[in-house]
Amino acid sequence: MAKTTSLVLGIVFVLVAVLGMVGTPLIGSDEGALFHTNTAHDVVHLVIGLVFLAVAWFAVDKAALALKVVGVVYLLVAVLGFAMTSPLLGFIEVNSADNWLHVVLGVVILWLGVSAGKKSDAAPMA
């Protein structure tokens, strides 16, 4: 389960990064975008996506841990987002919709990591 989850999340995060870089009414640097991003924010999404993909392909035994770590990081980012004004940490653009999305992502990704437990997607050794 953790491998599949990491693979799906990796693809989603890479797509979100690309959409943010291109700019859409949903995600982008335009003030009218629902989720306001800038290049730094898009790069963060790209890196997280690539980490999830790498874990899914090359380190399946670490997939549940990666999910837990990213979930906790997203919850911390949400707290910082509500506590600070944008740009977050001085360089990452966020808005209220981003902050709430970070809460949801943090809870869901952390739950996925915890629920993955000791189940493994790796093929059994013969």
Residue boundaries of the structural domains of the chain: 2-116
Q: What is the pLDDT of residues 11-58, one digit of tens each?
A: 999 999 999 999 899 998 888 899 989 999 999 999 999 999 999 999
pTM: 0.86
Who contacts 105 (Cβ-Cβ below 8 Å, separation ≥6)?
71, 74
Who contacts 12 (Cβ-Cβ below 8 Å, separation ≥6)?
49
Q: What is the pLDDT of residues 72-107, one digit of tens each?
A: 999 999 999 999 876 877 788 888 999 999 999 999
* Cα dihedral sign, 111-112-118-119: positive
With beta carbons less than 8 A apart as the criterion, state whether 29 and 38 touch.
Answer: yes
